[in-house]
Structure 1
Amino acid sequence: MSDRQREAVRQKALAEIALLDTPPQPEFDALAKLAQRMLGTRMSSITLIDPERQWFKARCGPLAPETTRAGAFCPVVFETEAPLIVADARLDPRFAASQFVTGSPNIRYYAGVPVRITQANGDAVTIGTLCVLDDEPREPSATDVEILSDLACAAEALFEARMVALRAAEIAEDRRLMVEHLERERRQFKRAERMADMGSWRYDLERRSATWSDGVFAIHELPVSGGVPNGDLMSYIPELDRTTFLDAVRRTLDTGEPFELDADLVTARGHQRRVRCLGEIELSKGKPIALVGLIQDITERHRMEEKLQHLARTDDLTQLPNRAEFNRVLDARLRDAHATGAELAVMLIDLDGFKGVNDVMGHAAGDEVLRRVAEQLRAEYLSSFFPARLGGDEFAVLVPSTVSRAALDLLVQQLLRNLHIVADGLGQIANVTGTIGVAWSGAAARSRAEILRRADTALYEAKRTRKGTARTYHHVLDDRITA
């Protein structure tokens, strides 16, 4: 297929999803924000590419709503259908003269991956990108593309959901045309009321009483006929969020600035919901007389954001945290340990004999071994530990500072025994063991890179000596490995 034909296929798929020039949607905005936060950049976007321009379905940072394709970064990912990382655009001949580099938003660092949609025939077609950008150059991390690829999977799921919704909308439209005009309007009104999940409220400061719209009663699962439970308003909000809510109200009364916050709410029927509350002062002749605002049920949106975060931080096969999440937690624990003078340990685990399981018994048997290893790392006696799958047959475990060296030695021996796994399949049997390298933090190992290097050195020495054993790092190992 020629480049022109591939471009035509991509543009056809983009037109079918009907996303160009649509209003912002919270699920796409949440995904762009998550990419920006996880990679620590100033900008991020979910970008769609049409024949003449790139248009941002979601964007964070100083990005225009759309730009031309010429000189832009995302069209390169779109056309090559491959990830792209640019450490410093000023030094890259493809982009050094780009208007987006020499002028606003002054792009230096760029990392982007394709976002695809699966067509009815099963073909995956690239329609855009998920990317992060910064106005400062930076050294790419080994996990940047991995994190973006994981998030791109979530974006693709949203695109697929939209395709399903579009097809459902077409069916609904066909049916709608068959309904009489008056009935159609009545049903549309009720649907809109349900979809809003929102209500308005007003609290009279002098009378100390509230009035609610029907939507607020619906969110609380209370009958309108029962009236506002003025004497029990705060009981529906858990204590922690109740304190936050009351603090926000006091700040608004003291400063006159509106407030907006998210909080948990337990309905009259005992159902837990996540709500967004907005409030501001109502003035009469320059004097505060009431607080007025809105409350919206954002439970589903909150669940989606949590699911996206879970997808981005979790290894799909083992359901253990992935490498990016392990690195994030390790960095935080090292900072805490340094601040308190505590000491923690990292265990690196490499499976022995695992390749043979895949080669002889197949990947299904190999996947089962990895799941069994994950179960061992989640065992009760390791409940205070933080395990993760780094990739392939590599695992890591973060040991809390409450575990002593002597206690860890005993736990490591138990873990070695439990990691002895017999795999069977296709009439074959294979033994898999784990080799462990341990490193402790301290004055000389305050950084993630150093403690992982030490654990890896210990792991290498254990494998060299005898697989299925464990070694703890000490300085002699460095000399031995170097020699």
Structure 2
Amino acid sequence: MSDNQREALRQNALAEIALLDTPPEREFDILAKLAQRMLGTGMSSITLIAPERQWFKARCGPMAPETARAQAFCPVVVETEAPLTVADARLDPRFAESPFVTGSPYIRYYAGVPLRVRRPDSGHVTIGTLCVLDERPREPTSTDLEVLEELACVAEALIEARAVALRAAKAAEEHRRAVERLERERRQFKQAERMADMGSYRYDIEKQFTLWSDGVFAIHERPVSAGVPNGEIMNYFPEPDRSIFVAAVRRTLDTGEPFEMDGDFITAKGNARRVRYSCEIELAKGKPVALIGLIQDITERHGLEQRLRHLACTDDLTQLANRAEFHRVLDGRLHEARAADDDVAVLLIDLDGFKGVNDVLGHAAGDAVLRGVADRLRAFCDDGCLPARLGGDEFAVVMPAGLDRVGLDRKVRRLLHELEIVMHGHGHIARVTGTIGIAWSSAAAQNRDVLLRQADAALYAAKRTRKGTAQTYQAGADHRMAG
């Protein structure tokens, strides 16, 4: 990667976290003060490096809010991506003529470490520094950089948390807008219902007779001329929602408490929908005479909620379960295994040669490999299996309980063969294989963390032996080949 490309990557990462030119924040100010106090210097800063300037997110001492980037100390740390100490800047040819040395703030001593942010497509990217400065020369101690690096870890965590919060706020705003749109449509529908009696019903308790507005007929996909199908209304609700609805109506009749519920719904034309039903008692002279309420088609909103849930537990590139969903399912399987005194196997899969695909053929080819691996894992998995992408080129599979070791070894051998992928492009060929680590929950006392550590140990034992193979974890690091 060229210097220009690295600089563009840094500036993109800096723009994504939206930290540049933001107001002071107490947490960052505290970190700068801690660095100053712990190292006993006159100045300190948390510095972000923009294209033409360095801007201080936090600063202590006689420092301007920002300065030119040229001949400054912190850009050197960012460009080299390495810590820097300068005992006496007047004696260092890189900085002796710097206006920050010859003029205010008359820097003599400098110590700085990189601040990095994590990007899913390019790993960690250096965007700035945590540094201390002083007007007097001093010899760096062995702990100066260690202290700064520890504080930089905290600063990076703050930046990451802030970035996560920004992404969450953006997602929440998008969700809020979607909810507002749906709520606006609901209010508009209710206004129309009040004007034209649309989407409302009334059930006469004594006569056991129901009246619908035109909107209810539309939801049921029945013509108004066909009349209300009294005696058959519950047939539009499939089980178990039908029984839930009937029980809710009885509870309302017994207690007088209204209810709202969402349920599946089958129209007269056989179309599946999702509806929201509200119900309350109509009183006459203090006695219940009818049940009244609204029925609302919420299929679109329900679909949106389902899609949001899907997005929350799915890896976007491969459409496999993501790490959070993998952990959730694995925890459930381990809970069941404890109750049934059963055994569950976990496969950890690491792709060999994947970096070469990205380097030689490009990230598009790398993405194609990851999608291909996901397709092979889906084909490999029977009922009860859960394939997942944990991140990067790391995959995992939760196997169903009750599968014996012989059967698993046979399946793993087939999977190893399926994971051999050859990619062509631009006159180059790249080969990818998969290495697999296997662990059983009984050996891990049904503990998820222990189980994954054991699978990871087996994986790297297999890699040390021969890539493209599988090993099963056994106590004492006596790993057995599975293929």
Shorter-chain TM-score category? Answer: 0.5 to 0.7
Q: How far apart are 1:413 and its partner, in Å?
A: 0.5
Q: 1:211: how far off?
A: 1.0
- Counterpart position of 2:68: none
Query: How many Å separate the matches in 2 of 1:259 and 1:191?
Result: 17
Q: Is the contact made by 1:198 and 1:297 (CA closer than 8 Å) also made in structure 2?
A: no
**1:31-180 paired onto structure 2 within 5 Å:** 154-155=171-172
Q: Displacement, 1:293?
A: 1.3
Q: Name the counterpart of 2:242.
A: 242
Q: 1:443 to 1:427 in 2, by over 3 A?
A: closer
Distance 1:399 1:226 in 2: 53
CA contact (8 A) 1:150 1:311 kept: no
CA RMSD of aligned residues (A): 4.0
Q: Render the CA deviation track for 1:405-453: whole Å, top value 9, x for unaligned.
A: 1110100011001101111111111111000001111264322111111
Show CA shifts across 1:39-71 (max 9, x none). xxxxxxxxxxxx99xxxxxxxxxxxxxxxx998
| Residue of structure 2 in register with 1:6 after alignment | none
1:337 maps to amino acid:
A
Native 8 Å contact 1:151 1:312 kept in 2 = no
- Alignment-derived partner of residue 130 in structure 1: none
Contact 2:461 2:479 in 1 (8 A): no
TM-score scaled by structure 2? 0.61
1:152 Cα offset (Å): 5.8
8 Å contact 1:321–1:388 — kept in the other structure?
yes
Q: Which residue of 1 aligns with 2:98?
A: none
Which residue matches 1:217?
217
Other-structure match for 2:313: 313
Aligned AA for 1:237? F
- After TM superposition, give the deviation of residue 198 of structure 1 in Å: 6.3
Query: Structure 2 counterpart of 1:458, which letter?
Result: A
Whether the aligned pair in 2 keeps the contact of 1:420 and 1:434 (CA below 8 Å) is: yes
Match of 1:261 in 2: 261
Q: Residue 80 of structure 2 aligns with which residue?
A: none
Q: Which structure has more RCO (C-alpha within 8 Å, separation ≥ 6)?
A: 1
Q: 2: distance between equivalents of 1:406 and 1:273?
A: 46
- For residue 399 of structure 1, what is the aligned residue in structure 2? 399
Identity over aligned pairs, percent? 60
Structure 2 CA distance for partners of 1:440 and 1:148, relative to 1, 3 Å: farther
Q: Is the 8 A contact 2:421 2:432 kept in 1?
A: yes
| Counterpart for residue 423 of structure 1 | 423
In structure 1, the residue matched to 2:378 is: 378
**Whole-Å separation in 2 of the counterparts to 1:198 and 1:372:** 51
Query: For residue 477 of structure 1, what is the aligned residue in structure 2?
Result: 477
Taking the aligned partners of 1:406 and 1:149, their CA distance within structure 2 comes to 49
Distance 2:204 2:190 in 1: 31
| 1-structure distance, mates of 2:379, 2:478 | 32
Map of 2:199 onto structure 1: 199
Of 446-455 and 411-420, the range deviating more from structure 2:
446-455
Distance 1:190 1:440 in 2: 55
**Does structure 1 residue 342 correspond to structure 2 residue 342?**
yes
Task: Specify the code of the residue in structure 2 equivalent to 1:353.
Answer: G
Please tell me whether the aligned partners of residues 435 and 459 of structure 1 are also in contact (alpha carbons under 8 angstroms). yes
After TM superposition, which residue ranges in structure 1, 4 or more long, deviate above 3 angstroms? 69-73, 143-163, 189-198, 380-384
Distance 2:320 2:382 in 1: 14
Q: Deviations over 1:232-279 (max 9, x none)?
A: 111111122111111111222222222211011111222211101111
Distance 1:304 1:384, change over 3 A: same
* Cα distance between partner residues in 2 of 1:146 and 1:71: 16
> Is the 2:454–2:473 Cα contact (8 Å) retained in structure 1?
yes
Give the C-alpha shift of residue 461 in structure 1.
Answer: 0.7
- Counterpart Cα distance in 1 of 2:270 and 2:408: 44
Amino acid at match of 2:264: D
Q: What 5-or-longer segments of structure 2 have no aligned partner?
A: 1-14, 16-21, 29-45, 49-156, 182-187
Match of 1:87 in 2: none
Query: 2:381·2:387 contact (CA, 8 Å) conserved in 1?
Result: no
The AA in structure 2 aligned to 1:433 is: T
Q: Give the secondary-structure state (helix, strand or coil) at the position aligned to 1:230.
A: coil
Q: Give the paired residue count.
A: 329
Instruction: Give, in angstroms, the shift of residue 146 of structure 1.
Output: 10
In 2: Cα distance, 1:473 partner to 1:349 partner:
14
Three-state SS of the structure 1 residue aligned to 2:321 is coil
Counterparts in 2 of 1:352 and 1:246: CA distance versus 1, 3 Å: same
Q: Is the 1:349–1:435 contact (alpha carbons within 8 Å) kept by the matching residues of 2?
A: yes
Alpha carbons of structure 1 residues 198 and 395: separation in structure 2 relative to 1, 3 Å? farther
The CA distance in 2 between the partners of 1:160 and 1:253, in whole Å, is 37
Q: Give a deviation string over 1:387-406, Cα, whole Å, max 9, x none.
A: 00001000000001032111
Q: Which amino acid aligns with 1:390?
A: L
Q: Quick check: 464-473 or 333-342, which moved more?
A: 333-342
Q: Cα–Cα, structure 1 residues 212 and 191, in superposed 2: closer, same or farther, change >3 Å?
A: closer
Distance 1:268 1:218, change over 3 A: same
* Counterpart in the other structure of 1:127: none
Q: Which residue of 1 aligns with 2:130?
A: none
Q: Assess, with a 3 A threshold, how the Cα gap between structure 1 residues 150 and 397 changes in structure 2: closer, same or farther.
A: farther
SS class of match (2:335):
helix
Distance 1:474-1:72 versus aligned 2 partners, 3 A rule? closer
Aligned match of 1:304: 304
Aligned 8 A contact 1:197 1:297 in 2:
no
Q: Distance in 1 between matches of 2:257 and 2:235?
A: 25
SS at match of 2:201: strand
Residue type matched to 1:365 in 2? A
Partner of 1:283: 283
User: What is the rounded CA distance, in whole Å, between the counterparts of 1:145 and 1:469 in structure 2?
Assistant: 41
Counterpart of 1:459 in structure 2 is 459
1:269–1:148 distance in 2 versus 1, CA, 3 Å: farther
The answer as to 2:271 corresponding to 1:271 is yes
User: Could you tell me how far apart the structure 2 residues matched to 1:359 and 1:256 are?
Assistant: 69
Asked if structure 2 preserves the Cα contact closer than 8 Å seen for 1:457 and 1:478, the reply is no
Deviation by residue 1:93-121 (Cα, 9 ceiling, x = unmatched)? xxxxxxxxxxxxxxxxxxxxxxxxxxxxx
Q: What is the deviation of 1:231?
A: 2.4
* TM-score scaled by length of structure 1: 0.61
Partner of 1:362: 362
Output the CA distance in 2 between the equivalents of 1:468 and 1:479: 15
| 1:160-179 Cα distance to aligned partner (Å, 9 max, x none) | 9899x9xxxxxxxxxxxxxx
> 1:157 deviation in Å?
5.0
User: Deviation of residue 287 (structure 1)?
Assistant: 2.5
Contact 2:462 2:469 in 1 (8 A): yes
